[in-house]
Amino acid sequence: MAENPPTDHDIRLRRLKFRSWHRGIKEMDLILGHFADEMLDSLAPADLDDYERLIEIQDITLYNWISGHEKVPAEFETSVFNRIRSAQHLKTALWQQNG
């Protein structure tokens, strides 16, 4: 029996997960990679749009927003961003990096 071809949604999720794990700095690989693995499958399409906009931001800027070193612009202060910032995987990723 032949498998169904992947849907556009499946392809999008795979692409976003790959991009989440292959950033410019290790900290962002860990933060976004873990978040993507744990959460992307359950996000609504509008939240995926917000996530996709977030991962277009340069790593150091995004890291500073997540870590609280810089103020987050209002247009990026989304529910997805807040989930990334408050998620348990973030604490784990930062601990792994610093531990």
- What does the pLDDT look like over 27-66, one tens digit per residue? 899 999 999 999 999 999 999 999 999 999 999 999 999 9
| 43/92: higher pLDDT | 43
Q: Which of 24-28, 66-70, 95-99 has the lowest mean pLDDT?
A: 95-99
Helix count and strand count (H, E) for the chain: 6, 0
Say if 4 falls within a structural domain. Answer: no
Say if 3 falls within a structural domain. Answer: no
pTM for the whole structure: 0.83
Checking if the pLDDT of 88 tops 80, the result is: no
Say if 1 falls within a structural domain. Answer: no
The burial of 47, by beta-carbon neighbours within 10 Å (0-12 exposed, 13-18 middle, 19 or more buried), is given as middle
Q: Which amino acid does the sequence have at 31?
A: I
Say if 39 falls within a structural domain. Answer: yes
Say if 17 falls within a structural domain. Answer: yes
Domain residues for the domain of 79 are 10-98
Please report which confidence band the pLDDT of residue 92 belongs to, taking 50, 70 and 90 as the band edges.
low
Say if 2 falls within a structural domain. Answer: no
Residue 93: name the closest of 26, 48, 13 by CA: 26
Q: What is the CATH number of the domain that holds 75?
A: 1.10.150.250
How many domains does one find in the chain? 1
